[in-house]
Chain A
Amino acid sequence: MSDPLNAAALLANFVIVPAIAYGSQLALGALGVTLIYGILRFSNFAHGDTMAFGTMITILFTWWFQSLGLSLGPLPTALLALPFGIAVCALFVLFCDRVVYRFHRAKRADPVIFVIASVGVMFVMNGLVRFIIGPDDQNFADGERFIIKAREFKQLTGLSEGISIKVSQSITVVTMIIVVAALFWFLNKTRTGKSMRAYSDNEDLALLSGINPDRVVAVTWILAAALATIAGTLYGLDKSFKPFTYFQLLLPIFASAIVGGLGNPIGAIAGGFVIAFSEITVTYAYKKFANYIVPGDWKADGLMQLLSTNYKFAVSFLILLMVLLFRPTGIFRGKSV
């Protein structure tokens, strides 16, 4: 029996909804990487661990608020803690810039030196996070779990496949939209934002125009820290928080930023969704889906999975290679220098 409605519901539940949420998280992460790249001109390997660090601070505040009995009702308490996480993370990142990167910037060191320095920072952050909160899984989501449960959806529509939407998923998407809108407003409409774009475009001319480089750099770090903390917290709410997972997110995040064109914010968002959708569609097992859409009594044997989820990094990697092969500046033409 061909049953396209159930097939669509199935796909929406297991591919589209999770991919939109994951894509939003990657987009926010990639935006941070691309901002740093655009202004400071290096790939920040510490970004995954910055996400972990910011999330950890948010979790600690969440626990504290929970112990005080503070809550947002159906929404997770972590949202209340998020501004504090951002603030602490921004301070820490500014401190890192002050003691690590500024020295190399003053010397106008090679980009690769910055990359290695960021690896050093990554080490330290990684160690700090494990030292403070431990290397294990932490669950900090509270409030309502679902907006719509699969069972309710089934009752509502009479389909045999349900679509469930988690609160964390919708928070992720809403937050992403708000953050991206605010970021673009900031970059395109405010004086500071425009000066950042000018600095990224042509550093020497920006200096000639009287733009203060220290200020631009500081604002960039603050934005990157905020984006990293938000992305990390949303990811943690949606899945769970484990320091090593955040380190591993580095690859899909870099891939997103490069696919869209390093240094290009719109590209980073598009790249995040390209990577998320590819990863989930390639690793999804289509057995049930095939049974729904193929007419007749044919039954799929095997999972019909293109790639095991164990190899989800391979998807980011392959897309990355394809972009480098065919269009090294990315879809939206980032900086090639």
Chain B
Amino acid sequence: MITSLRNIFYFAVMAGLIVLVGQMQSWNLALSILNLCLISSVMALGVNMQWGYAGLFNVGVMGFAALGGLMAMLVSMPPVQEAWTAAGGGAWVGMGIFLLTLIIAITLYRKLPKNGLRTAAIMLVVIAGYVLLRIYFDPTTKVIEKVNPAASGYLGGLGLPIILAWPLGGLLAGGVAWFVGKITLGLRSDYLAIATLGISEIIVAVLKHEDWMTRGVKNVTGLPRPVPYEVNLQNTQWFLDLCERLGTDPVTFSSIFVKLCYAGLFAVVLLLVLWLSERALRSPWGRMMRAIRDNEVSASAMGKDVTARHLQVFVLGSVVVGIAGAMLTTLDGQLTPSSYQPLRFTFLIWVMVIVGGSGNNWGAVLGGFVIWFFWIEAEPLGLWLMDVLTAGMADDSALRTHLLESAAHMRLITMGLILLLALRFNPRGLLPERTQQ
């Protein structure tokens, strides 16, 4: 089996690189890279479902990941009692209006016959809901934001274990994906791309500006962890015993141990998603998806509802992206709305999928590892390169300072070039999709 040998080879090289970073730089860094590689891989798996299985171009990966992140915060942070008290009934009224609007809209969608009238009616309900929300809820948000703005100024969350946010974040992302997909799928492919670009900009704008919910750009820090804290570990007897047996320093090892715990959790999710994806791809459903992707016309002539299948896979992929987004925020331990930048998120994931091998789940995972690794290591490499290039120039040369300062932007150019080169010279990726006979 040449292909499986190749798989093993690539993953072995990847593991080797990470070990190399551990040896050369530090194990702490190596594990940080590994953790983000794992999350990237999950996200790439989600995008691969949409692109690799169905040929759908989702430019809103960032937005769906942000929804996962939002959920992580909403689930795990303890509620801010003062804010709830200050808000009084206002918060409940707001939530009531929101839910009622949602319920009426969904009921209309289900009960009315499908035509322009239904769309207009739903739109009217949503607009009415929005106006009511603005009238009754706006004053409340001001009150909430005034409660101890330096430390909280928001409602907080539910105070539940953060792990719960992973599936919930997926569900939230899936719900939004359903809404976008319902409108744009079935029309030409560019429309989905443009609409997802729009929805993700809006999601991030909401995260940045609805301070009563997310504290906006003030960030929510200190999300509860699903794994032990370093300080606690350093005071725990069994951990100290373990350190003694391994002969390491408890302070260093505690942070490595925490990262290993995260890595374990993420690996479980990755393997689960990967296993399910592989099962799905090999099932009759997966064969049908690929048949539709390869020839939409003949698939729909065979009686397959192409649009419905596309919607299904689009929602599923977004669920996975949402889960990964929640994992990412869990790892960061904070919700930082301004970190959701389209170039960093969406397009990096796309490069992962295309370089890894669209349509092949293992390829997406490998792409996640490779691209994240180089994304991180490109910065020191770029700086080093610029240092070498500018070594001959005088220390105070304006060009030299400018080049050194701008080295970070080289990453964007490099990623763009990698994407273009992959698309041209190796469009099937490092691990190409297996074509079944």
Contact = CB atoms under 8 A, between A and B. Distances in A.
A127 interface: yes
10 contacts: A43-B190, A100-B420, A115-B189, A116-B419, A116-B423, A119-B59, A120-B423, A130-B409, A311-B209, A317-B202
A255 B199 CA distance: 13
Interface stretch (A229-237, A286-294, A318-326): A318-326
B343 A126 contact: yes
Nearest to A123: B416
Interface string A175-193: 0000000000000000000
B189 A103 contact: no
A19 B347 CA distance: 32
Given A131-B406, A325-B119, A320 B190 contact: no
Given A123-B347, A126-B412, A317-B199, 4 more contacts: A111-B189, A115-B57, A311-B202, A326-B116
B364 to A, nearest CB: 15
B400 to A, nearest CB: 14
Interface in A103-141: 103-104, 110-113, 115-117, 119-128, 130-132, 134-135
Interface residues of A, number: 53
| Chain A interface, DSSP helix/strand/loop, else mixed | helix
Contacts of A314: 202, 205
B424 A127 contact: no
B187 interface: yes
A128 B198 contact: no
Interface string A295-337: 0000000100000101101101100111011101000000011
Nearest to B423: A117
A248 B201 CA distance: 9
Contacts, number: 134
B419 A251 contact: no
Contacts of A42: 190
A79 interface: no
B420 A117 contact: yes
Interface of B: 55, 57, 59, 116, 119, 123, 138, 183-184, 187-191, 193-195, 197-199, 201-202, 205-206, 208-209, 342-343, 347, 350, 354, 406, 409-417, 419-420, 423-424, 427
A49 to B, nearest CB: 10
A135 to B, nearest CB: 8
Contact of A121 (B206, B406, B409, B416): B416
A127 B412 contact: yes
List the 6 closest pairs (A to B, CB-CB), nearest first: A123-B416, A127-B412, A127-B413, A124-B416, A317-B198, A120-B419
B57 A316 contact: no
Contacts of B417: 120, 124
Contacts of B187: 324, 328
Contacts of A104: 423-424
A251 B201 contact: yes
B415 A123 contact: yes
B25 to A, nearest CB: 25
A135 B406 CA distance: 9
Interface string A252-269: 001100100010000000
B214 to A, nearest CB: 13
A250 interface: yes
Contacts of B57: 112, 115-116
B193 to A, nearest CB: 6
B420 A251 contact: no
A247 interface: yes
A152 to B, nearest CB: 36
Contact of B194 (A112, A125, A254): A254
Given A120-B419, A320-B194, A325-B183, A337 B412 contact: no
Contacts of B206: 311
Contact of A131 (B123, B183, B410): B410
Nearest to A130: B409
Contact of A111 (B184, B190, B195, B350): B190
Nearest to A247: B342
A316 to B, nearest CB: 7
A336 B187 CA distance: 8
Contacts of A110: 55
Interface of A: 42-43, 45, 100, 103-104, 110-113, 115-117, 119-128, 130-132, 134-135, 247-248, 250-251, 254-255, 258, 262, 302, 308, 310-311, 313-314, 316-317, 320-322, 324-326, 328, 336-337
Given A112-B57, A320-B198, A321-B183, A119 B412 contact: no
Given A115-B57, A254-B194, A313 B205 contact: yes
A111 B198 CA distance: 20
Contacts of B116: 326
Nearest to B422: A120
B55 A116 contact: no
Contacts of A128: 413
A124 B416 CA distance: 5
Contacts of A313: 198, 201-202, 205
A123 B343 contact: yes
A116 B193 CA distance: 10
A43 B409 CA distance: 25
Contacts of A121: 416, 420
A324 B183 contact: yes
A96 to B, nearest CB: 9
A122 B201 contact: no
Contacts of B208: 310
Contacts of A123: 343, 347, 412-413, 415-416, 419
A272 to B, nearest CB: 16
B272 to A, nearest CB: 29
Contacts of B184: 324
Contacts of B413: 123-124, 127-128, 131
Most buried by B among A122, A131, A302: A131
B420 A326 contact: no
A17 B205 CA distance: 26
Contacts of B209: 308, 310-311
A131 B406 CA distance: 5
Most buried by B among A104, A120, A125: A120
A134 B406 contact: yes
A251 B350 CA distance: 19
B410 A302 contact: no
Contacts of B190: 42-43, 111-112, 115, 262
Contacts of B347: 119, 123
